[in-house]
Structure 1
């Protein structure tokens, strides 16, 4: 299960779980007999960089962002080294089957797992052209059918119009910290301990350095102003459209989407406004998204079909990629009739916001059951 923007691992944020909040959703799934992992990858990095990190995290080895990619965007080619949580991934089992995995991504994590699947299957022509085969990461070779299914939860496949608020990174981080502070009074900037994992940009936390100083160096870095190789671009409608032009649904993978919806129509303005149960920190962005339109030439057109939202992502953007994409969508019926290579849209979960769906801010048996039901769907897929 892959986290989204500002996501974290199990040993960060004072024991607060990204998946489950005060409880561990991963452990609850394990207790039901499923093998589940929650990787930690760059919380503000681009989907390309995060996909490379996810590959190394699962398979094991040193992160290789690609020679061509690294030269293009001006950061180091290599990142951290991981032992691998599933080193036999992609190997042939005793039953002669390829050892595959199911990938689930929340929010930006859905874009990241789509990017990983694309690179596994088709690799990168640019990387193969510039790099000798001896020095090329296996990820960029392609021809790997290693993924059984991809499930996205509240993912901005077409970006989020919230990005047009032009927040910048610092206000977003402070908004994120404020949300955590509401849930856990111990969390402030000084003891946030979120690892930004921007080593490739030369932004490591130094030995003995206070978290506040590390945080300030990240925020004040000029990388936010000079590159599109970060989340702040990928999450815009235009950045998502760019991603969608080359990240396609693969014909050997099952694709599923779950959507959250926590707004309703205002009887006077006909705009979408937040439901009463929406987390307070999401209300300003939800109100903005519920009435925003954009017809600027060259931009992704945003009209009232984008207004229904979960506080961060619009419903229409979370169903499947559309802008710049040729992917197809069908409505999910049951596992016996599920299709590969198309988006099987499961449903919209009503009165649930962007944070609540992963139980980051509230534990609900009904939401836990959504994950148990999803695990059962994936477990029952035809081989």
Structure 2
């Protein structure tokens, strides 16, 4: 009996080994590049080790591991959940490449925060022009990866001028530019032209402040707390050892972050994106893809957009606000009825692609320097795209499997 059991287990092990080896061979044979795929979270996102194991990418499931099991080199990056697009791009660079975050001497002086941040070991230290990566960003993560891509190629004139005047202080390679190390950029439910919800600072900023206050008691003192880490060290927003909660909260509210535009709420707004256009360029040597969801429907009588019954309940007030918000932006662009449809946090029209760039419906022949946008996924709200909504895990996993198949089949 024991001998038969050993033979049975050996047979099963052999079958499993052959099966998974076959899958990996199929994946390898079907791809044209083996560049790593980096997932970048949006506003309020968190690290894989936070939230008691509840994943930003997948919730109770794990999108990263599912894709890895299929043979794809997928990694999850972590940046400041409420930081500005600039700060997040600097953090993302250090998180991938390894090293200490350098926000830039000129930027830090202007925004009144520390120049240097945390130090990371790097998830892909060999990253270079020869060893490129694919970037996939959800929500604000899409803006962050667009900014990182632009900075890598163009650098930053202000930081370069500061370095020229103060060579002893050095400059981050990120701001030096002339790097072509991004193969593709994929944005998911990203406000590529800003979101009208973020235009209301009286609503959005207090929400962020209240989150900091309410979550601070759970965050703890460790560098990687098991609940939540706000990662705003550059502004001094970090609970110190033996610091009382009231003292910590008082310091949070007095922080310089609330007195500047160097914060996520501004960078997510329409005006913030307009002001930041120089750092959100479409580069001619990079492939661009975008995915958009819609969780509103048009009523028969009034033709107004209203939230679908399946929309995440907490998004309903924001969705209703966006449905009725109208404005003429500083560049003359009108936020009108075409901006009404949304996924609960992001306007559909804003998610397709940046206004004014070359774009086409996605097909089997993507072109570098041109945005390839996919059909709107009807009934998908902002959280459905990361596996926290009402979509089955198998549906969400298939969605991401299609993304990685697309980018890994791009020619080198």
CA distance in 2, matches of 1:125, 1:296: 27
Correspondence list, 1:148-187, <5 A: 148-166=183-201, 167-172=203-208
Give per-residue Cα distances to partners, 1:246-293, cap 9 Å, x unaligned.
421111100000001111101222111011110100111111112221
Give per-residue Cα distances to partners, 1:167-195, cap 9 Å, x unaligned.
14332465899xxxxxxxxx976436321
- 1:121 equivalent to 2:162? Answer no
Contact 1:191 1:211 in 2 (8 A): no
CA distance in 2, matches of 1:78, 1:222: 17
Aligned to 2:306: 273
Choose which of 76, 90, 102 in structure 1 pairs with 2:134. 102
CA spacing shift, 1:55–1:164, aligned 2, 3 Å: same
Aligned to 1:56: 94
- Structure 2 unaligned segments of length 5 or more: list them: 1-38, 220-226
Aligned to 2:218: 191
TM-score (norm 2): 0.83
CA distance in 1, matches of 2:55, 2:353: 27
CA distance in 2, matches of 1:265, 1:341: 34
CA spacing shift, 1:261–1:168, aligned 2, 3 Å: closer
Aligned to 1:356: 384
Aligned to 2:280: 247
Deviation of the 1:208 alpha carbon: 4.3
Higher-helix-fraction structure: 2
Correspondence list, 1:1-383, <5 A: 1-90=39-128, 98-132=130-164, 135-166=170-201, 167-172=203-208, 190-191=217-218, 193-209=227-243, 214=248, 217-218=251-252, 220-295=253-328, 300-322=333-355, 326-334=356-364, 337-362=365-390, 364=392, 365-383=394-412
Contact 1:20 1:363 in 2 (8 A): no
CA spacing shift, 1:188–1:121, aligned 2, 3 Å: closer
Higher mean Cα deviation, 360-369 or 255-264? Answer: 360-369
- Structure 1 unaligned segments of length 5 or more: list them: 92-97, 178-186
Give per-residue Cα distances to partners, 1:146-173, cap 9 Å, x unaligned.
0000000000111111113331433246
Contact 1:238 1:300 in 2 (8 A): no
Deviation of the 1:216 alpha carbon: 6.0
CA distance in 2, matches of 1:188, 1:207: 17
Deviation of the 1:295 alpha carbon: 3.0
Aligned residues, how many?
362
CA spacing shift, 1:68–1:176, aligned 2, 3 Å: closer
CA distance in 1, matches of 2:52, 2:242: 19
Give per-residue Cα distances to partners, 1:21-69, cap 9 Å, x unaligned.
0111111111111111111110101111000000000001111111111
Contact 1:237 1:300 in 2 (8 A): no
Higher mean Cα deviation, 19-28 or 238-247? Answer: 238-247
CA spacing shift, 1:261–1:43, aligned 2, 3 Å: same
3-state DSSP class of the match of 1:7?
coil
CA distance in 2, matches of 1:206, 1:77: 20
CA spacing shift, 1:174–1:347, aligned 2, 3 Å: farther
Deviation of the 1:376 alpha carbon: 0.6
CA distance in 2, matches of 1:363, 1:210: 42
CA distance in 2, matches of 1:128, 1:265: 50
CA distance in 2, matches of 1:360, 1:297: 35
